[in-house]
Amino acid sequence: MMKKTNLYIALLSVFTMINIIGCDDYLEEVNFSRIQKQEVFKSIEGADAAVLGVYSLLSESGPGLPGNLFGANGTWFRGNNWMSSCNNDEQLLEPDPNFNSPAWITLSSLSYTSTNIQITSTWIGLYQGIFRANAVLNNIDNIIDESPELIASLKGEARFMRGFYYFYLMTYYGGVPIVNQETRDNTITRSSVEDVAALIEADWLYAQENIIDEKMNHNGRAGQLTATAYLAKLHLYLASAKESKVYNGIEPFPLNSFNWVDDKEHYNKAKDYADKVYDSDSYSLVDNYGMLFVKAGSEEQRDEFIFNIQTNAQNGVRYSRSAVTLGSNGLGGGQGLLRPNVHMYDLYFEGDTRREANLSGGKLKEKNGVESLNGMKYIKVTPVKPKNLNKNNSIFVNKYRNPAFDLGELKENTNTVLDTNIPLLRYADLLLIRAEAHYKVKASRAGIPNEMLSEVRQRSLHKKVDIDKVNNHYLKDDFMEELLEERSRELAFEGWRRIDLFRTNKYEDRIEAIDDSDKTPSNLLPRLSQIQLNYADYKMWYPIPQRALELSPNIIQNPGYLDNN
């Protein structure tokens, strides 16, 4: 009797257990904190968040990157600043012994290889952006009961961003693989610059047609005119690259060729698109140049930024590592690892406020005192001391500044978070694009080209300074030379210099022309000589990352770079 009871107990337990195991979903994965794709694209709100996800990669540290590799931060979180700014005549890497990421040192001294983690993570980050855009485009049509216009508008934004990421891929690496699906195909090959440019143009044209324009009020999101302005940029880029005969290998390398470009036609297109934005009166130059870079989402930024990265330093969305690349140390104004060259100081005429706005003589310190800009407190800038220019640590990037927090004692803001929106394309840039395009179309600087230069200069002059005197001072016989200088003056440390020097084929000239006399601080001299020594024509393109070559065997390397180097 006893034994039977015991047996029953045992059997009961066993059967209960089998019953539980028998439940079909017992071994299904359960995730309370994770979201599946079908849930994202269930509603227009989800799709909108997915479109924001395409933008947010601009400021993300790069999810899914091998993030624990030092410096492996794609896009603008950190990486793009290195790719665009660390090895030209605007900034030089301070040989700081405290800082020894080989990726950054080699990138900054033009001795990088295809395994450089920055070159690699920029590639990854940009392609992730493209993937996110593709995910929107592939899935958004599943949403039913929404207006086709709204869907098309979101698609327009996704396509704008896809074009945007391809544009940077093209300028850094040349012809790259085109991926327009959420693909899992590693047999992919590189497309030519021609095909990539065609895709970018198509995407931006679609965006220009389909984005519902009230969205333009959203600073960080693309509107129709954002696409238009970028179309001007694209065509100017292609036309000037063709015209200036950008290096294309000892043996011509068809993938990166600009031979297909009809430069006249593209200059004309650039002119038309620039005129279209100009004539729309949607943007304006603000009075105070310096205010553009200090407060997130200010009136000034809304007026002048055509496209920008939105930031919110308080809540974790950050444009980080600006200290390293741009020189903002917490409060701003210095100690960035990339130091402006002395010639940046000489570039400005006395009374051009852009000099003080862009350059400082040292890290901002509490004892400098506080100034109030638009109702927020900022530490006053440490001015550059002209007599100290050739000394070490005499000149720093001052462009981006953080407000000082007043909490009984001054807060030393973090040196990794910058609390201001970061411009990607400004109206001033568009004016200079317009100047260049009109000059190229008419082959004369009279009229619009000169007017545009004056307009850009005018607003940043001290009240007593005469614009004619300034125009005279900045005047160069070669209009393009003057224009490129003006672009550097106006757009300093905004990431355009390398691209400008590249498309005009003046990269080598400018590197060689950097003054290595006693004007350059001695601690920057070694870096300067390394850049000059290591420069080679083929370095105008970055190498395709070794990682990409290994994972997709049909992708080939750019000329000049060894397959394994």
Residues 210-249 contacting another protein, CB under 8 A: 217-221
Comparing C-alpha atoms, which of 545, 436, 483, 429 is closest to residue 172?
Answer: 545
Q: Are 80 and 70 in contact (CB under 8 A)?
A: no
Q: Quote the least distance from Cβ 269 to another protein, whole Å.
A: 29
- Please list every residue from 7 through 36 that binds another protein, using CB under 8 A: 7, 9-10, 13-14, 17-18, 20-21, 26-36
Q: Quote the least distance from Cβ 526 to another protein, whole Å.
A: 4
Q: What one-letter code names the amino acid at 189?
A: T
Beta strands in 257-373 (DSSP E): 305-309, 319-320, 338-340, 359-360, 370-373
Q: What span, in angstroms and rounded, lies between the C-alpha atoms of 270 and 333?
A: 35
Q: Quote the least distance from Cβ 305 to another protein, whole Å.
A: 11
- Please list every residue from 246 through 305 that binds another protein, using CB under 8 A: 296-297, 302
536 lies in the binding site for another protein (CB under 8 A): no
Q: Are 99 and 43 in contact (CB under 8 A)?
A: no
Q: Quote the least distance from Cβ 162 to another protein, whole Å.
A: 12
Residue 185 is encoded by which pair of tokens?
């195909």
Q: Quick one: 49 or 513, whose CB is closer to another protein?
A: 49
Q: Quick one: 23 or 144, whose CB is closer to another protein?
A: 23
Comparing C-alpha atoms, which of 527, 506, 493 is closest to residue 106?
Answer: 527
How many residues lie near another protein (CB under 8 A)?
A: 110
Q: Quick one: 95 or 351, whose CB is closer to another protein?
A: 95
Q: Quote the least distance from Cβ 417 to another protein, whole Å.
A: 9
HEC string of 333-349 equals CCCCCEEECHHHHHCCC
Among 85, 311, 368, 558, binds another protein (CB under 8 A): 311
Q: Quote the least distance from Cβ 54 to another protein, whole Å.
A: 8
526 lies in the binding site for another protein (CB under 8 A): yes
Q: What span, in angstroms and rounded, lies between the C-alpha atoms of 511 and 507?
A: 6
Q: Quick one: 296 or 430, whose CB is closer to another protein?
A: 296
338 lies in the binding site for another protein (CB under 8 A): no
155 lies in the binding site for another protein (CB under 8 A): no
Q: What span, in angstroms and rounded, lies between the C-alpha atoms of 331 and 534?
A: 35
Q: Quick one: 314 or 374, whose CB is closer to another protein?
A: 314
Geometric angle at alpha carbon 467, from 461 and 470, rounded to 5°: 85
Comparing C-alpha atoms, which of 193, 113, 205 is closest to residue 162?
Answer: 205
488 lies in the binding site for another protein (CB under 8 A): no
515 lies in the binding site for another protein (CB under 8 A): no
Among 24, 281, 316, 375, binds another protein (CB under 8 A): 316
Among 317, 376, 465, 480, binds another protein (CB under 8 A): 317
Q: What SS3 state is found at 425?
A: strand
Among 274, 422, 470, 548, binds another protein (CB under 8 A): 548
Adjacent-strand bridge partners of 92? 339
- Please list every residue from 412 through 441 that binds another protein, using CB under 8 A: 412-415, 421
Element (H, E) at 93: strand 91-93
Q: Which positions from 166 to 185 touch another protein by CB under 8 A, shown as an x/- string? A: -----------x-x--xxx-
Q: How many CB atoms lie within 10 A of CB 138?
A: 16
Among 212, 465, 525, 556, binds another protein (CB under 8 A): 525
Q: Are 235 and 266 in contact (CB under 8 A)?
A: yes
Q: Are 344 and 277 in contact (CB under 8 A)?
A: no
Q: What span, in angstroms and rounded, lies between the C-alpha atoms of 471 and 238?
A: 29
Q: Are 359 and 395 in contact (CB under 8 A)?
A: yes
Q: Quote the least distance from Cβ 306 to another protein, whole Å.
A: 14
37 lies in the binding site for another protein (CB under 8 A): yes
What is residue 209's DSSP assignment?
A: H
310 lies in the binding site for another protein (CB under 8 A): yes
544 lies in the binding site for another protein (CB under 8 A): no
68 lies in the binding site for another protein (CB under 8 A): yes
Beta strands in 345-468 (DSSP E): 359-360, 370-373, 376-379, 396-397, 417-418, 422-426
Q: Quote the least distance from Cβ 461 to another protein, whole Å.
A: 30
148 lies in the binding site for another protein (CB under 8 A): no
For tokens 């999810």, name the residue. 63
Among 260, 353, 356, 405, binds another protein (CB under 8 A): 405
- Please list every residue from 78 through 137 that binds another protein, using CB under 8 A: 95, 97-98, 100, 102, 105-106, 108-109, 111, 113, 115, 123-124, 126-128, 130-132, 135
Q: How many CB atoms lie within 10 A of CB 391?
A: 12
Q: Quote the least distance from Cβ 206 to another protein, whole Å.
A: 20
Q: Quick one: 305 or 507, whose CB is closer to another protein?
A: 305
The span from the first CA to the last CA of the chain, in angstroms, equals 81
Pairing of β 370-373 and β 376-379:
antiparallel
Q: What span, in angstroms and rounded, lies between the C-alpha atoms of 313 and 334?
A: 19
Residue 369 is encoded by which pair of tokens?
């005192």
CB under 8 A: which stretch of 57-65, 81-89, 369-377, 473-481 binds another protein? Answer: 57-65
Q: Quick one: 25 or 468, whose CB is closer to another protein?
A: 25
